Structure 1
Amino acid sequence: MTTPVFRFAPSPNGALHLGHAYSALLNFAMAREAGGRFLLRIEDIDIARCTPELEEQIYRDLAWLGLEWETPVRRQSEHFDDYAEALERLVEAEIVYPSFMSRGEVRAYIADAEADGQSWPRDPDGAPLFPPLDKERPASERRRRMEEGEPFAWRLDMEAAMAHWGRPLFWDDSGSGPDGETGSVPARPEVWGDVVIARKEMPASYHLSVVVDDALQGVTHVVRGRDLFHATAVHRLLQELLGLPVPAYHHHALILDEDGRKLSKSRGDTGIAALRAAGTTPGDVGRMVGLEVPDEGFSHQARR
């Protein structure tokens, strides 16, 4: 029988808040209940925004909550070769292409289309889908521009990728999506358009790195926020294209602020370190997010 493997995978680009605490505590509790393993992964692939200081703060915050994890911790910045190998497989399958349009060019293209009365499609997060210009460029032009050192991103040719796989996609979810979706969920990655898989200066996007990491770490259960529910469709497609195992999913409710918005690092919402400094206990944090947590934290309870 396979031992269940759960993981919590924060990015050290800001302080952890109550939403992170809920996800970490839930992963730890579910792993313990299943008799499984609990992993911590540091998703620091964006080396321009992630810092060692914030990484150390993650360790302090999680240890204060009473969580214990296996070591060594997988840090994405130490595994760029894994992502490059996966990307090369997609390149060889001719289901990714280099895109050169800047954000400004994309905005201008879409603005012109909408000014002409065209209703531009949006992805589940509300962002406009990527225009088709780069996909339609001749291979010779692509090679020339890459050889000349132009900035570019590798994008998944969604139409080609779906045709390459050629079968319906599903995932099993024991949580629920924004509209109550649960159980066997149909995956519709095409609603995302041609998503970024990697950039010239970054070996993988979140979509590619997360499926590679989960496979290499033997993760069997992905427990994460409902805000990533629809992104799972892209992950399922990449898993099939790369021949990777498929974990079970559990998308949990989000911790919201007083205005009903998702908590955000960028706004400095309800930081765990600030709560600790104010005298809050791990048990208090558990009550804030609706979980039963001992006042001294899980690991201290386990040592009794």
Structure 2
Amino acid sequence: MSFFKKLRESISSKTEAVTQKFKEGLSKTRSAFVEKVEDLITRRKKIDEEFYEELEEILIGADVGVNTVVKLIEELRAEVRKRKIEQPAELQPILSEKLVGLLKDDQSSELRLAESGLTVILFVGVNGVGKTTTIGKLAHRYKQQGKHVLLAAGDTFRAAAIDQLEVWGKRVGVDVIKQQPGSDPAAVMFDAIQAAKTRKADILLCDTAGRLQNKANLMDELNKIYRVIGREIPDAPHEVLLVIDATTGQNALSQAKLFGEKTGVTGLVLTKLDSTAKGGIVIAIRQELSLPVKLVGLGEKMDDLQDFDSDQFVHALFAGLIAAETNEE
């Protein structure tokens, strides 16, 4: 069975709506990355040094990451020697299979929820990456599932952040626990947890300040928030999600490294994947950090925040090739 056929079958049980969202959300990356690979394979009649160099440039241009690209090219060279491949076209499914392998993760991409009682999810990340929007969309998802959701406005550093969260709260129909701008964020979290307990909420989604990630005071602030949450609810926060903007490419990877080292991050949210041709950053992040990508932003609609799925991701990238193979069958 061909690799593309296996990929089709792996997502056959998933809803067409989700498959379509991945296809639409990754259209820019598909044009900039896969179509360039297809063009290279069509133009080059043999696999030589120039072929490898051009493939390397395409992969780096899609922000797959230099270290990952070097490793990937070495593996492709080994496969070419082992299988005695001469035609570039024969490399397409092998490259696709390697990309799925790079994205696969032993860690679950599902969000961890409390077995009983209140689940607390904390969101961290610099300003402007789409943290509040992610919180709003996730609140909408849980509310649609019939869960009682509360939001905590822990970014007290900016009055606009509190206002923005309230706008989302009204849009989704969930309450926001807040204090005045400049208040102690840990005090806001304490109030939010007490409110969640009193109201028997299922999910508490907590915003935090997004000042520069290398500021010691911000890290101290986050540690204080963790202590308050953990004291009030054992095993909480159940997830600490770092939200990063996919359009910033390698800068997103730098942020992930800094935050991951200092803030106990359990998973990543990659926003604005639909706005970038550099979707390869997902591969770079998976390879260079021992953190699972949990959620991806594939558009601006309320349900465009999707659970990350490596099969769906690669299927969406190679949609044209898969469709062509299906027609041939």
Same fold (TM over 0.5): no
The structure that is helix-richer by fraction is 2
Could you state the TM-score of these two structures normalised by the residue count of structure 1? 0.32
